Amino acid sequence: VPQGFGGLMRALSKIMPGSTGYMNRRFLLRQLSYGIGRPVAEQSVHWMSAVPGPMQERLWRDGKAAKLRVDSNPELSVLEQCQRHFIESYLAGDILQKMDRASMHVSLEVRSPFLANAVSEFALSLPVEASFQGMTGKRILRSVAANYLSDETVNRRKHGFALPVADLLRGDLRELAESVLLDVANPMYEYVRRNVVRETWQQHVERRQDHGKSLWTLLWLAAFFRNQF
């Protein structure tokens, strides 16, 4: 699919009915558009990026977007390469860190049974086809779970522990976010174009576009620069 098709998908997403629901169609279409037409090793990274490539090029003062890609391994299929990438970066560097910090903060011991060595090693030894059936993932796990749980639970749509950041930035956290994010003295603006951040913020609070994911990331970047420098 040509990369230009991604632009058409983004244009379509802008005229779709707005929604702040978890993984809503408008959000998914827009995120998908960023990876369209790119090399396979880069697609997954662009789909997951909090700040899209086109926005990064406008945002950074040097005009360069981050060049990120999944490490290629010719011995693995593309799907297996993405799987390894998620395990080594997103799982280890993000999800598990958040769980560890949150649980330690309240002196709680947490275990992830699906990450036990025996279970994870067995799962990774299976051919990719064993995990999927059409568009349905976790095929073996769902099959086992069906013996113990209701169909409603087994076939329930996946749902992460996502915060409603788009609404929070327009509501309860608006004053705080503006004081940190739009502070002209913030050292972050030695690297980031302030006019792009302000324009993105205005589009979001005026509900012209949903930039919640990007602004949430920029807010914490601004907080880091303010506190460290």
Residue 218 pLDDT level (bands cut at 50, 70, 90) = very high
3-state secondary structure of 6: helix
Predicted TM-score (pTM) of this structure: 0.78
pLDDT of the residue at 66: 67
> What's the rounded Cα separation, in Å, for the pair 47 and 31?
5
pLDDT of the residue at 36: 87
> What's the rounded Cα separation, in Å, for the pair 70 and 42?
6
The residue-averaged pLDDT of 207-229 equals: 93
Q: Please check the confidence at residue 4 and state whether its pLDDT lies above 90.
A: no
pLDDT of the residue at 225: 96
Lowest mean pLDDT among 129-133, 167-171, 206-210: 129-133
Q: What is the largest CA-CA distance in the chain?
A: 60
Q: Please check the confidence at residue 224 and state whether its pLDDT lies above 90.
A: yes
Give the phi and the psi of residue 208 in degrees, each rounded to 5. -80, -35
Q: State pLDDT tens for residues 24-55.
A: 888 888 888 888 888 877 888 888 888 988 88
Q: Please check the confidence at residue 12 and state whether its pLDDT lies above 90.
A: no
pLDDT of the residue at 43: 84
